[in-house]
Structure 1
Amino acid sequence: MRRRLSALPLLVLLAGITLLTACSRLDLAYRNLDWLLTWRIDSYLDLNAEQKAWLKPRLDQHLAWHCSTQLPQLASWLDQDRADLAAGKLDAAHLMARFGDLRDSLGTVSSEISPTAAGLLQQLSPQQVQQLRQSMAKENEKLRREFVEPPLAKQVAKRRETTEERLEPWLGELNQQQKALVQSWAEQRGEQNRLWLDSRERWQAALLQELEGRRSADFPQRIEALLRDRQSYWSEDYRRSFADSERSLAQLLDQLIASASPAQRQQLGERLGALREDIAGLECATPAGEAVASRSE
């Protein structure tokens, strides 16, 4: 029996495609977008009945769009990754290219959802905007306590631990050489947590500022630009750190694969195959009613 595509598997697929489950930056990127996709809207504010009724068909349409247009591309990437792994070509150059593919995919998703995001934001009451502001501040405070305030040595240790946990489902238990590679990578990332959170808060401040003019005619265009050009709100230090992080992650994964035992390579191949089967087992729903995903009225 084929399974219906739901929001949760969609986010899992987006964040976990191929080896990039180990890439925290992609997980964070989607976590920043998903409230606009409304998967976690209840974590930020309470929608009224009218807003929920307006949103539901649009959300259904977005899910159907992603299933029919984006999942085939993800499946194709997985097929290529498995073939390159078998041929010994799943290396840093391949992974850097895949990072570029995922950036493009994020841009496509952003363009798809921006009319709905703008339409929903235009409907917010002053009380809901204040609730959103408070929810963002509360979450950022929690993130700062967890990821920024601890001494750098503890941040590095947490980064190493989290990365090993994300890698083990793909490669099994890491050997000492592989653990040393992860430790070195975690140390190289330095204070990336602080740079990331500061840039996240800058973007959120810009969003909250735009919400003050949410009744204006050009609000949808401004929200689209805000979603599309997130990097324009990053600090110069974070831009450099992000680019360095992408390259170093590709190199880390390259080294881990090169040092993998036959059993680890087999597990990696099987894991890629299982994800490919999961995609094949998802059934694209056809939303009832008129397609409204591209309209915000």
Structure 2
Amino acid sequence: MMKKYLLLFCALSIFLTGCGSKFAYNNIDWLMYWYIDDYVELDKTQKKLLDGHVAQWMTWHRQDELTEYKTQLEQIKLQVSQDNVSAQQWEQHFNNAKQHWVRFRDHISPELARLAPSLTDEQVNALFAELDKENLKRIEDRLDDNFEKRLKKNIKNTQENAREFIGKLSLEQKNIIESFADDFQSSFDLWIAYRQRIQSAAHEMLLNERKEAHFKAKFLALLSHPETYQDDKLAQISTHNNQVYASMLAALTTSLSPKQKRKAMDELQDIIDDISDLQED
């Protein structure tokens, strides 16, 4: 039921970067309601049920999960300070970040499966109608850009993200980003198809089976094992793109000037400090 706003929660809690991250984390319950209103309107009873679960999730996440994020960030900071973060080490960090999400997903999925039967047919249909509209918009936006335009946009976005973290890029660093851009493989069509498959399965379950005795176990399996709806080719492309991105980050890390390294260290420390503050709140 609440997959979309839970993705927002995960994104904010895992990637505590940028201005206002602590504010966003501490107000995540309000932000969830603001976000989910775009998809389905909960009644007072449903909101009350959700309130109790959100409070429990936040307590667990603050007490247990933030320590995991902090440990990983401290490791990255140490590796950056030593001027040598290999592609293999970056890939391991990607895998660790994925495990943060898996733990969060596995922690909340049983509660979601128990809450889902409280939805009405109208709410279920409204939710998936909005998701269908979102998918269609993504497809239409994709059709508006040709390959060259998408490539230029991806290069620009990657350079801007790097610039925010390490400061002004050298010509060498811009060239590093451009040189790796062609190696990324597009997964859009496969990703949209995967998204539509799992949404269709969830829609059918919620609409036709949520009052059945077997529903909670079946819906929990969908939430906990979304990869069963994923094409093997999509997984292969994802692995490939992670490897390309890790290699690019390794090359950028090696190219850092002393000033850029100091900025990167400061940025990492700011995030670590934010997490420490959140743990003490």
Is the pair's TM-score, using the shorter chain for normalization, greater than 0.5? yes
- Matched residues in 2 for 1:164 and 1:205: separation? 37
Q: Does structure 2 conserve the Cα–Cα contact (< 8 Å) formed by 1:114 and 1:227?
A: yes
Residue 252 (structure 2) aligns with: 256
RMSD after superposition = 2.4
Deviation at 1:118, TM superposition (A): 1.5
In structure 2, the residue matched to 1:289 is none
Contact 1:91 1:254 (8 Å CA) reproduced: yes
Residue 224 (structure 1) aligns with: 220
Equivalent-residue separation in structure 1 for 2:242 and 2:11 (angstroms): 21
Residue 22 of structure 2 aligns with which residue? none
Q: 1:83 aligns with which of 72, 75, 78?
A: 78
SS of the residue 1:89 aligns to: coil
Post-superposition, which runs of at least 4 consecutive aligned residues in structure 1 deviate over 6 A?
Answer: 7-10
User: What is the total number of aligned residue pairs between the two structures?
Assistant: 262
C-alpha distance in structure 2 between counterparts of 1:78 and 1:208, whole Å: 38
Provide the secondary structure at the position in 1 that maps to 2:130: helix
Whether the 8 Å CA contact 2:84–2:254 is kept in 1: the answer is: no
Distance (whole Å) between structure 2 residues aligned to residue 119 and residue 183 of structure 1: 48
Listed as ranges, the matches of 1:38-117 within 5 Å are: 40-117=35-112
Identical counterparts, % of pairs: 25
Relative distance call for 1:104 and 1:150 in structure 2 (3 A) is: same
Find the residue that maps to 1:225 and give its secondary structure: helix
Asked whether the equivalents of residues 185 and 237 of structure 2 are also in contact (C-alpha less than 8 Å), the reply is no
Q: 1:234 aligns with which of 224, 230, 235?
A: 230
Q: Which residue of 129, 143, 167 maps to 2:162?
A: 167
Task: Report the AA paired with residue 49 of structure 1.
Answer: K
Kindly state the Cα deviation for residue 56 of structure 1 after the two structures are TM-superposed. Answer: 0.4
- In structure 1, list runs of 5 or more residues that go unmatched: 1-6, 19-33, 286-297
Query: Is residue 269 of structure 1 aligned with residue 259 of structure 2?
Result: no
Q: Check the 8 A contact 1:148/1:194 in 2, yes or no.
A: no
Question: Any residues of structure 2 matched to 1:118-137 within 5 Å, and which?
Answer: 118-137=113-132
Q: Which structure 2 residue ranges, 5 or more long, are not aligned?
A: 1-6, 19-28
Alpha-carbon distance, 1:187 to partner:
2.4
SS at match of 2:182: helix
- Deviation string 1:114-166 (CA, Å, 9 cap, x unpaired) is 12222232111111111011110111112222235521222222222222222
> Displacement of 1:283 after TM fit?
4.3
Q: Residue by residue, what CA displacement relative to the aligned partner does 1:219-270 show, whole Å, maximum 9, x if unpaired?
A: 2222222122222212222111101011111111111111111111111111
* Cα pair distance change 1:193/1:69, threshold 3 Å: same
Residue 8 of structure 1 and its aligned partner are, at CA, apart by 7.7
SS at match of 1:202: helix
Displacement of 1:277 in angstroms is: 0.3
Contact 2:66 2:279 in 1 (8 A): no
Does structure 1 retain, via aligned residues, the 8 Å contact 2:63–2:279?
no
Q: How does 1:147-296 map to 2 (within 5 A)?
A: 147=142, 149-211=144-206, 212-283=208-279
Q: Which has the higher contact order (CA 8 A, sep 6+)?
A: 1
Question: Could you tell me whether the CA contact under 8 Å between 1:114 and 1:220 is conserved in 2?
Answer: no
Q: Structure 2: which amino acid aligns with 1:12?
A: L
Distance across 2 between alignment mates of 1:133 and 1:190: 29
TM-score, normalisation: structure 2: 0.85
